[in-house]
Amino acid sequence: MKKLLILIVLGLTLGSCSEYQKAFRSEDTEVQKAAAIKMYEKQKYGKAIRLFELIAPVYKGKAGEENVSYMFGMAYYNTKQFYLAAYQLESFASAYPKDSRSEEASFLAAKCFARLSPTYSLDQTDTEKAIYKMQDFIDRYPNSTYMAEANTIAKELRVKLEKKAFEVAKQYNTIEDYKAAQVAFDLFLSDFPGTVYKEEALYLKLDSAYKLAVNSIPSKMHERLLSAKAAYQSLVKFKADTQYKTKADDMLATIDKELQQFSK
């Protein structure tokens, strides 16, 4: 019985392979299309893709193209070829906006761009593109069944940009480029006013302003001390009991002491 089952499975497998090979070598696009759809339905996406690649140019602008275009994009998506899937699914949604699958294709295309977004420490060009694509989907389909997932993905992408911007600003402080650090923290706080890193960002801006001021040449010290004092005030105004209070108060004491020389 066991041997019989093995032979049946082997026969079906060889039959499927033979059917695919015949279709692949065929010059009849209808035969290739039928085989591609069959491979797709059997979730043999790799084989389906190779056949779709052959027939997609032939069906361009012809009846039946929408099904070929949709399955082609979904086959790429299911094999995690996200660049190709995004292109194909976007093309389908653009060409057939009234098709019942257009909304799904638009969402999955945007999701592909999100999948291509790298870790926050790398260049975030793809993340910015993914946010644009997902926001475009949200704007075009405000009542979509995918809305909750779309909003979650968009939020995760923005958090990644936020983390990147914060780490860049922190790096300027770490390498002691205190002037650049202050500019970077100002931009960060302006771009992400509700950030979870706000307290630390305000403290590090103070730290940068303080260190720049106390190590300045006399002609620039007064202005920079005042800037550092303003940074202190911003921190305690945001959170009076900040975890950095002791360090910040020590800085303020030094700032006030140094400012006395300019009041004489």
pLDDT tens per residue, range 196-247? 999 999 999 999 999 999 999 989 999 999 999 999 999 999 999 999 999 9
Distance of CA 193 to the CA centre of its chain: 20
The mean predicted confidence, pLDDT, of the chain is: 90
* pLDDT tens digits, one per residue of 125-149: 999 999 999 999 999 999 999 999 9
pTM of the model: 0.80
Band of the pLDDT at 37, cuts 50, 70, 90? Answer: very high
Percent pLDDT > 70 in the chain is: 91
Is the pLDDT assigned to residue 5 strictly greater than 60? no
pLDDT at 17: 56
Q: Do 262 and 222 touch, CB atoms closer than 8 A?
A: yes
Q: Tell me which residue of 156, 72, 67, 71 sits closest to 113, measured CA to CA.
A: 156
Tokens of 16: 């499927």
